[in-house]
Amino acid sequence: MASLLFALLSTIPACAALQTSGTFNILSFNVAGLPAILNSNDVPGDKTTNTASIGQKFAQYNYSLIHVQEDFNYHATLYANDDHPYRTATSGGVPFGSGLNTISNFDWIDFERTKWAVCSDASQNDCLTPKGFTFMRAKVSEGVWVDVYNLHADAGTEPDDITARASNLQQVSDHIMTYSAGNPVLVFGDTNSRYTRAGDIPTIFTTANGMTDPWVELIHGGEPPTVESLCDNPSPNNTCEIVDKVWYRGSATLNLNATSFDYVGEKFLQADGNVLSDHDPVLVEYEWTLGSTLRLSDPFGGPHGDWYSDLDVIASTPNPAVASITLAGGNRLDSVSVTLTSGQTFTHGGTGGTASTLTLNSGEELVGATLCEGKYNDETKVFYAQITTSSGRNVIAGKLTSDCATRSVESGWGIVGFVGRSGDEVDRLGFVYAKA
């Protein structure tokens, strides 16, 4: 098997220079895809024709990451007219689907749909479909991963509607705290909420999750409005408030900044000048730079097991450095563990396998890895890991397969922790890098 590993690694091309900064944009658009017999949305024209136009404009403008809501019974038309390479599969039309989909130039992992725990039919038929939110981890560039949420909250202004909507936003906030701790995050969609409406809680993503609304940041000087302002569709300015909103935050590994915020309904009009939807789409431009002291590798392995990340703790540890590393395995990689010089230990996976521990010398860093994956009980898992130090020493566990990848740190950096998924074994493995 050693000769197989050498043959595999010798075919891997040299890595291109790591991209350390870049830009991208996002668009949020409720595309008014309820069947016309249920809701015309007061939009002139034929819904199939209008949806085709929306899809064509998505392709024309080539936005980086698009969230749509109410993408129900005209979904096939929308996708047939767009050419983005990555697109979520529909969850169905009314009454089966949530109407939430994502169209993107970025690939992603860990996609999931979650139904609202609370809904209300007090004003509208919000319980007719399983509305809720979606979650994914989108790859913007090598080592640049952003947790992305799409949502469509309960509508209406009756007391039960406001209670349900607050529960909806709280549900997303709770998910962020559990599954996106330490990660950069984007939340955008149809919130049906307003800062000026009593009982609505759009500020929760700022107060509970440390996120920023770019409309508040760039258009309103950092303070949410206190006086209600209603928008035309399309709106001639960005100062008025609509229910379609965006929040974002960076992380210790990624500096993320919004550079512009716009309502862009004028870009989504019918040939006669009428709107294509009753919602004004929201466009935000971002710039990003990699962190100066902490970074991430791309992960390797499968989507099973539970999410884990050492990043949040490492980010609060001054000058993190590894004292020892332990890998345990047999037929597959059972667990991974590092102990920092500060005494903190991070362990992920199960309790099986034979353990191998490597204690690092003063000034020695973990600088590279070889990982191999395979199928076990129809689930993709990490079968093999070899971690290499700056002195050329290795710690190894598991068994080689024919599907392997390498990870290597930049000069002056070292592996100090892990991100990935695990259960009884290690399903996915990525690395937290720290500047030495």
Give DSSP secondary structure letters for 260-295.
EEEE-GGGSB-TTS-BSSSS--EEEEEEEEE-SSEE
Q: Measured between alpha carbons, how far is 153 from 164 in angstroms, rounded to an integer?
A: 8
Helices (H), 66-193: 75-80, 159-179
**Residue 16: predicted pLDDT:** 52
**Residue 14: predicted pLDDT:** 42
- Residue 54 has which token pair? 């929306």
- Count the neighbouring beta carbons within 10 Å of the beta carbon of residue 373: 24
Residues 226/264, Cβ–Cβ less than 8 Å = no
SS (H, E, C) 15-28: CCCCCCEEEEEEEE
Phi, psi of 9 (to 5 degrees): -70, -30
Burial of 125 (0-12, 13-18, 19+ CB in 10 A): middle
Q: Measured between alpha carbons, how far is 13 from 99 in angstroms, rounded to an integer?
A: 42
- Count the neighbouring beta carbons within 10 Å of the beta carbon of residue 307: 17
Residues 26/259, Cβ–Cβ less than 8 Å = no
- Count the neighbouring beta carbons within 10 Å of the beta carbon of residue 406: 15
β pairing state of 354-359 and 322-329: antiparallel
**Residue 12: predicted pLDDT:** 36
CATH superfamily of the domain spanning 21-290: Endonuclease/exonuclease/phosphatase (3.60.10.10)
Residues 243/190, Cβ–Cβ less than 8 Å = yes
Position 58, amino acid: F
Q: Measured between alpha carbons, how far is 428 from 419 in angstroms, rounded to an integer?
A: 8
- Residue 145 has which token pair? 């991963």
Q: Measured between alpha carbons, how far is 393 from 321 in angstroms, rounded to an integer?
A: 17
pLDDT in tens, 263-290: 999 999 999 999 999 999 999 999 999 9
Phi, psi of 406 (to 5 degrees): -115, 155
Going by C-beta distance under 8 Å and a sequence separation of 6 or more, which residues neighbour residue 216? Answer: 195, 222, 223, 224
Burial of 196 (0-12, 13-18, 19+ CB in 10 A): middle
Contacts within 8 Å (CB) and 24+ apart, 219-225: 219/261, 224/195, 225/195, 225/196
What is the tally of helices (H) and strands (E) in the chain? Answer: 7, 24
Q: Measured between alpha carbons, how far is 309 from 315 in angstroms, rounded to an integer?
A: 11
Segments making up each domain of the chain, as ranges: 21-290, 294-435
Residues 305/421, Cβ–Cβ less than 8 Å = yes
Give DSSP secondary structure letters for 318-363.
SS--EEEEEEEESSSEEEEEEEETTS-EEEEE-S-SEEEEEEPPTT
Q: Measured between alpha carbons, how far is 387 from 333 in angstroms, rounded to an integer?
A: 12
β pairing state of 21-30 and 65-69: parallel
- Residue 16 has which token pair? 């291109």
Dihedral sign (CA 315, 316, 319, 320):
negative
Q: Measured between alpha carbons, how far is 122 from 125 in angstroms, rounded to an integer?
A: 8
Q: Measured between alpha carbons, how far is 33 from 39 in angstroms, rounded to an integer?
A: 9
- Residue 327 has which token pair? 């890998």
Low pLDDT (below 50) residues in the chain: 1-15
CATH superfamily of the domain spanning 294-435: Jacalin-like lectin domain (2.100.10.30)
**Residue 15: predicted pLDDT:** 44
